[in-house]
Amino acid sequence: MAKMHTKKLFIKALNKKFGKDFDLAGTRTEYKRLGPEQSARKREYMETANRLAGKRGISFYNPYVHCGGIPLGQRQLVPYKLSGTEYVVEGDDLHFVNNPAMQQMWDDIRRTVIVGLDMAHEVLEKRLGKEVTPETINNYLEILNHAMPGAAVVQEHMCETNPGLVDDCNVRIFTGDDALADEIDDQYVIDINRLFPADQAEQLKASIGKTTWQAIHIPTIVSRTCDGGTASRWSAMQLCMTFIDAYNMCAGEAAVADLAYAAKHAALLQMADMLPARRARGPNSPGGLSFGFMADMVQTSRTKPQDPVAVSLNVVAAGSMLYDQIWLGSYMSGGVGFTQYATAAYTNDVLDDFSYYGVDYAVDKYGGFAKAPQTIEVAKEIATEATLYGMEQYETFPTLLEDHFGGSQRASVLAACSGISAAIATGNSQIGLAGWYLSMLLHKEGWGRLGFFGYDLQDQCGPTNVFSYQSDEGSPLELRGANYPNYAMNVGHQGEYAGISSAAHAGRMDAFATNPLIKVCFANPALVFDFADIRLCFGKGGAREFRAAGDRALVMPAV
């Protein structure tokens, strides 16, 4: 029989949350009903609201309007430990409005496009008779890093952006061609050999080949003022003007139209697809972001490749925040509930404990990551074991159950650990997905409850889409996304699906899950958010230690 690995990683967090002296196994407690005053953050909010009341001239934040004067805080309001870190923050600090790191993560995705250089170079050489050399590329990149933030080239007397507002904007290139990369000024290169472990670098360079790509990050302040669709438009104009400047072209001849198409659009990779009219969102909106792309944006796979669970859990954190808190919680719905759901997946080391247990179980039994047969039998065995272990922890530690007080939280965590474990064990995301759905059914069977209404559809009907190859529903998990038919409405799923997509490839020690260009682009050290350690960044944001871009203070009166 497989060895048992019950590390109980969550106990440290429970002690930090509930205080050291409580009885871990106690099923009864005294509820002191101390109200919002027990929380430093709620007190701060009340003080702030009082201070602003006169200025606003209209009523404002007042927790005592809740339910006939009975405010939240009738139970103990507890803080949250960011999993895998030492950061302990208030729950409020994990609402994306209060957390600049969370905002910046989405800003950094939304303001990014990847644009190929090769076709533009071909047009320059064949249509316009220009010579393209490493020297001209270096010159082009210098001009581009002047122009892309919003500065003028070619034209005279233009209105430009203040560099102090747009200093997060940059363009670097990457290629699978080591010889070319060596010729480019280091400041303009995302160095695959330096940033990735050797085996991953070889995989990435082989996949990218001798093609060359620009990782373009327009200013945060631009994408916050406009939207995700702006990234390609803003970059397109600056790309074209830069080519005209760098290669001394005529600004009006017809051949420039060929270049413009080649340089702006022909080799453009958006981070997310545009959505159908009923959702009415352009490209680079979270609803069009595939789980595989999300998995590739997160960089833990290159910094901790030996720990596929950590890789997967950072993807879960990024996805839970983006898909649940920002996409479903604000684009698609509204209010405050979504943060509470999503945090369960990346706080208090609960999903960590359950996932390490499931993966250790599989490694003991099958001899390593991605060693288990890719069969439905394996999904059944691992998902059942992981789910039953997780349920047992909730039953054994009452404050753990109290912490994940909603069924949707528990369902997401139990199914995620099952899916991640099965995916890492087999190196196959579809087997992971099969494990996810089995976990949902087991959970419902054991406790006679699951999540909210939507789980009836998505999770109880879900097993039928795992092995389907019908159009619309038959995509591999990596190519599904937030707008996949049954996935479009349910919190607590999409980040975890991204995590399962990642887990399969992390288990196989792949350099990327879906797209090597995305993986390399987000290795850019000049990004404001650190995609290698998602949860640490969220903790910094919650602790008010994170400096985001896009600040307007420079051009406003001091507060």
Catalytically active residues, by annotation: 155, 341, 454, 490
CB nearer to another protein: give 114 or 345.
345
What token pair was written down for 84?
Answer: 């895998």
Angle CA(379)–CA(381)–CA(383) in degrees, nearest 5? 60
Using an 8 Å Cβ cutoff, are 507 and 370 in contact?
yes
Looking only at the bridges linking them, the beta strands covering 212-217 and 170-175 are: antiparallel
Q: Provide, rounded to whole angstroms, the least separation between the CB of residue 548 and another protein.
A: 33
Q: Provide, rounded to whole angstroms, the least separation between the CB of residue 462 and another protein.
A: 9
* Of 213, 134, 220, 140, residue with least CA distance to 173: 213
* Of 345, 469, 460, 360, residue with least CA distance to 403: 345
CB nearer to another protein: give 136 or 384.
384
CB nearer to another protein: give 31 or 198.
31
Q: Provide, rounded to whole angstroms, the least separation between the CB of residue 475 and another protein.
A: 13
Rounded to 10°, the helix 308-319/407-426 angle is 140
Using an 8 Å Cβ cutoff, are 408 and 329 in contact?
no
User: What is the Cα Rg of the chain in Å?
Assistant: 25
Give dist(CA 536, CA 543) in Å, integer: 10
CB nearer to another protein: give 302 or 410.
410
* Of 322, 262, 337, 254, residue with least CA distance to 290: 322
What token pair was written down for 275?
Answer: 């959505």
Burial of 27 (0-12, 13-18, 19+ CB in 10 A): exposed
Q: Provide, rounded to whole angstroms, the least separation between the CB of residue 402 and another protein.
A: 5
Q: Provide, rounded to whole angstroms, the least separation between the CB of residue 365 and another protein.
A: 13
Give dist(CA 550, CA 225) in Å, integer: 10
Q: Provide, rounded to whole angstroms, the least separation between the CB of residue 413 and another protein.
A: 13
* Of 78, 39, 83, 220, residue with least CA distance to 539: 83
Please enumerate in sequence order all residues whose Cβ is within 8 A of that of 80, keeping only pairs 6 or more positions apart, or say none. Answer: 17, 88, 89, 90, 91, 93, 94, 343, 347, 348
Give dist(CA 150, CA 238) in Å, integer: 8
CB nearer to another protein: give 232 or 429.
429
Burial of 295 (0-12, 13-18, 19+ CB in 10 A): buried
What is the sign of the dihedral through the CA atoms of 407, 410, 485 and 233? positive
Neighbours of 143 (CB within 10 A): 20
CB nearer to another protein: give 72 or 97.
72
> What residues does 80 pair with on adjacent strands?
89
Q: Provide, rounded to whole angstroms, the least separation between the CB of residue 40 and another protein.
A: 21
* Identity of the amino acid at 373: P
Q: Provide, rounded to whole angstroms, the least separation between the CB of residue 460 and another protein.
A: 9
CB nearer to another protein: give 28 or 55.
28
Q: Provide, rounded to whole angstroms, the least separation between the CB of residue 28 and another protein.
A: 5
Burial of 485 (0-12, 13-18, 19+ CB in 10 A): exposed
Residues at the contact surface with another protein, assessed by CB under 8 A: 1, 4, 6, 26-31, 67-68, 70, 72, 74-75, 376, 380, 384-385, 388-389, 391-392, 395-396, 398-399, 401-402, 404-408, 410-411, 434, 437-438, 441-442, 444-453, 456, 463-470
> What residues does 412 pair with on adjacent strands?
none
CB nearer to another protein: give 62 or 136.
62
